[in-house]
Structure 1
Amino acid sequence: MHMRTRTLTALAMGLSLAVALPHAVQAQTRQPNRVVSINPFLPLGGYFQGEFEQRLKDNLAVAFSASSVELEDRYTNADVKLRLYPQERGLQGFAVAAGLGYGRIRNDNGNDYVCPAVPGFVCEPNKESTSGATFSVEMHYQWLLGKSSNTALTLGGGAKRYYVDEKKGPYDTFQRFVPTLRLTIGYAFK
């Protein structure tokens, strides 16, 4: 009787594994490999933040991002980020990233110019700009929602350092180290 119980238990475990394994493999193969996302609120103010992310391994992804926002100055950026998902769930969950890119900082000093009193002359503000390499670090949490995990919602933040050329002029008014925020919604796909 004892041998029969062991045999039935082993048979039940084997049958359970045979049924569960294809479902686990199928769920793993349905996992999205790419996410395209944007911040849906920034376009209302004339700004932009978007990203394309490609999963390389279960714990690693590469992302290409672009943004144009205005704090005190106008910041326009393009970055490549290497993103680590320590929980090894692909494009889901907690992630940390480091990025390299190129950024431009523009300051529209509306008060720093003299407008001649000539009829028909259009006076424009003094625009200063500088550009250079950037380095960024960020942390975020990304959810893949829905039955097919096609809706991506991401919330996170970090910091970006601008390496601007000091020889271009007196750009002491430009911030070279700025905080970054991320709230994006997107589409995840194979």
Structure 2
Amino acid sequence: MKVLLLLAKGFETMEFSAFVDVFGWAREDFGSDIALHTCGFTEQVISTFHIPVIADTVIDRVNPEDYDALAIPGGFEDYGFYEEAYDERFLNLIRNFHQSGKPVAAICVAALSLGKSGILKGKRATTYHLSGGRRQKQLAEFGAVVMNEPVVTDGNIITSYCPQTSPYVALKLLELMTTKELSDTVKTAMGF
């Protein structure tokens, strides 16, 4: 199995690393066959705080049929996150995974990409909850039923409301792709 980790420029490194660590622990320590592949608009994606990450592939080369789930870290507007996170190619990938019934996991403001893609209409979801709830209001404008909870799952869609929730989103995605038992085992091994 494969997870596509979709990176928009200005992505949050903590939110990115949670998927890398959780799926790495599952694979290396517990024999999971899930591989994680990174994707950006360019081969080198500059994250929040100017940390460069070399992506495995670029968005124009992705075949969604090659992947079993989609994971998206949020990011900072000041670093250009929404320029790519709202790009039609980004949104089309989200739509494709959702229409195929594959899990889609978004941390923090990455839920706004899900909302803009249209997949959250009438679905329970959350996004960044601080700063007066401005981002949650934006999510509601996309038709989501906004829940002020740390992690919200509605069917195969997982959203969360801040960087602190990152490992819990990754663990929930692991659970949806495998079993609750494996997710709980990795959670315990990582000290959560």
Place the TM-score, normalised by the shorter chain, in its bin. Answer: under 0.3
Higher helix share: 2
Normalization by structure 1: what TM-score?
Answer: 0.23
Report which of the two structures shows the higher radius of gyration computed on alpha carbons: 1
Higher strand share: 1
